[in-house]
Amino acid sequence: MINLNLKGVQLESMGFLHLRHILETGDTSLFKSYMVKYNKYSKLNMQNLKSCKAQALKDNNYDQIENFIEYEDYIANSYHYQLTRYLGYLVDFHDNTGSQ
């Protein structure tokens, strides 16, 4: 397996390559490896976003707060996020049932 050390926004866009390979091979261990990176990115992204919203509130920059809220909605409804969640359910089901 080739390990692409991706950061931030790259993970959201380039993650499709990794997910496609996982779907083609059916190797759930690849998905679990990918999810470690994806979860780390998501956590750091949300922490940063929370900090930025707090600073915007301190600065009374309500337009920026609105932008941050829209960005949160965008990420939560992105195709990549939804696909990742769906594959997570499939992998969990596969692992819990012992399916081949």
pLDDT category at 98 given cuts 50, 70, 90 is: low
Amino acid making up residue 96: N
5 belongs to a structural domain: no
pLDDT tens-digit series, residues 59-80: 999 999 998 888 888 888 887 8
Residues spanned by the domain of 60: 38-92
19 belongs to a structural domain: no
pLDDT tens-digit series, residues 1-50: 444 455 556 666 667 777 888 888 888 888 888 888 888 888 888 888 88
67 belongs to a structural domain: yes
Domain count, the chain: 1
pTM of the model: 0.66
